[in-house]
Amino acid sequence: MFPVIKDRKIRIGIVGCGRISNNHFSSIEKHSDSLELVAVCDNDPKVLAAHEGKCRVRGYLRLEEMIHKERPDMVALCTPSGLHPDQAALAARNGVHVMTEKPMATRWGDGLRMVRACDEAHVRLFVVKQNRRNATLRLLKQAMEEKRFGRIHMVQINVFWSRPQEYYDSARWRGTWELDGGAFMNQASHYVDLVDWLIGPVASVQAMTGTLARDIEVEDTGVLNIRWRSGALGAMSVTMLTYPKNLEGSITILGEKGTVRIGGVAVNEIQHWEFADKRDYDQQVKSANYETTSVYGFGHPLYYKNVVDVLRGEAEPETDGREGLKSLEVLIAAYMSARDGRTVSLPLEY
């Protein structure tokens, strides 16, 4: 169904040269035996010129022109989230695979549109979920798959980070409903991804959000109650108002036969690991912990490895468009709940 790229390097263009693009540039460099950066695209001429010189490739102000002149195999969308749907559809129409940063879209209908556009064009849609590659979460995922917790009773996810007003003022799109989304949609998106990926399908959510201290359209703080189809209950607490810096990104799982807490600033420390049974990999708990000054973690190169393998025809995608829709669905349900003051059941209408 999908074309396979075998006997040459995969040609990739980066769209949007903001802060997250650095993770993509470094990942491409680490996989330089398989990937070739052929162009960059940004709507800021100064930013574009700087990256042209730094990356030694041609730069474009318009994505369509880049695609037509460079004919990349894939584009990586590092642009504001609200731009992803149109850019993904444009790439798909031109037969170009799409990798998009989180969240894949800011509206439910737009996420569905991205998946359909890539399906109809027979191109891949990859949604970056690099936290899934963190060593700490890989161990937790293995324990979940082996059902070591037994029945899961309760889950708590915390994202206590700091984003000063200067962060939102640094770009006009930040903190807007159309292009960015709030603390849940943007900063905590990877933690919302853990809700389904680790625990399972969600039955319903209840949310409250507030814009307590920042001059932005969207929320800087929110709480979310979750009921999973399994019967497990949980909650997620998110704020960008932590003083004076990022404090915690954590998940705690309480089950009938196991208790685990992974904390640190970005789920980088296994702080409690206790099960009724024992497994060989329990000895890896300490070695899985890692130091980080970045909330992004170190998963991008590993994510790129899967993308390369998929385009080579050697693997299945870890997070494709449909997988990306799972966390987007929870996010949209949370915003609907907060807006209307009601419980929202899943799935949403397709």
The two beta strands, 202-210 and 221-228, are antiparallel
pLDDT for the residue 226: 98
- The pLDDT tens digits of the residues spanning 124-159 come to 999 999 999 999 999 999 999 999 999 999 999 999
Give 152's strand partners. 255
**Phi, psi values for residue 28, rounded to 5°:** -65, -40
Euclidean distance between CA atoms 279 and 284, whole angstroms: 10
Q: What is the mean pLDDT of the chain?
A: 96
DSSP class per residue in 86-139: HHHHHHHHTT-EEEEPSSS-SSHHHHHHHHHHHHHHT--EEE--GGGGSHHHHH
pLDDT for the residue 142: 98
pLDDT for the residue 349: 82
- The pLDDT tens digits of the residues spanning 171-218 come to 999 999 999 999 999 999 999 999 999 999 999 999 999 999 999 999
Euclidean distance between CA atoms 43 and 258, whole angstroms: 50
pLDDT for the residue 2: 87
Euclidean distance between CA atoms 226 and 53, whole angstroms: 48
Euclidean distance between CA atoms 75 and 92, whole angstroms: 10
pTM of the model: 0.95
Mean pLDDT of 98-105: 97
pLDDT for the residue 74: 98
**Edge-to-edge order in the sheet of strand 97-100:** 58-60, 35-41, 10-15, 74-77, 97-100, 125-127
- How many percent of the chain have pLDDT more than 90? 95
Mean pLDDT of 278-305: 86
Residue at 144: amino acid letter? M
pLDDT for the residue 334: 98
